[in-house]
Structure 1
């Protein structure tokens, strides 16, 4: 199995039990081999008042977090100059690209147009 970076929306759906069965199985296998998050996803998750803060905190604590490095910053700047993409999404995409990770997200509108990025949507996974 490849290495994955999990986007905020997928963590939220996973923890709330709203992913389809195949997508949940994919996330189970990714999480068993160590979940990986961008620092942006960490911030977004810990900022939410979701009703399941303890589960979110545990998930984040069990994850490897990719901090912003100069290489990620420069990749983010290139993405923002080339495309109309919000800074948080550009940081997540740059993190995946720099670390050669597959991005798990259902935000296909923003991420599928980035040719250097491999995207898997667990909502459509079979």
Structure 2
């Protein structure tokens, strides 16, 4: 199954969290939203860290915000009262028929079909 990986799991991976590394190893087809790409890159501190983040993120298929994704994000934001970045990430997973892998239980319901919360910190 293909998976859209949320920013928190990507950041955990980069910080050496073993649970994140184990989780990412499970997916042959790893994908991210452009929002997650931006969130990870915005946290990079210095040129060396930025280069490392770019190299890591280059191993993922990156999905732009299409009109279909935007429509779904608006619906999710309205129905679930999510912040727009979270709505876009979830909409990206839904539009592409992918599992959303996240650690964010505040914004994404754990029991919701299509959402996987593999670990907590």
Q: TM-score, normalised by structure 1?
A: 0.83
The equivalent of 1:55 in structure 2 is: 52
2:69 to 69, 72, 79: 72
- Quick one: distance in 1 between partners of 2:111 and 2:83? 13
Cα RMSD, aligned residues only? 2.0
Which runs of structure 2 are paired with 1:1-126 in the superposition (5 Å)? 2-20=1-19, 23-30=20-27, 33-50=28-45, 52-112=49-109, 115=112, 117-123=113-119
Distance in 1, matches of 2:116 and 2:110, equals: 13
Q: Tell me the secondary structure at the aligned position of residue 109 of structure 1.
A: coil
Query: Residues 81 and 114 from structure 1, CA distance in 2 versus in 1: closer, same or farther, beyond 3 angstroms?
Result: farther
The unaligned stretches of length 5 or more in structure 2 are: none
How many residue pairs match? The answer is 118
Structure 1 outlier segments of 4+, above 6 Å: none
Structure 1: gaps (5+ residues):
none
Pairwise CA distance, 1:121: 1.8
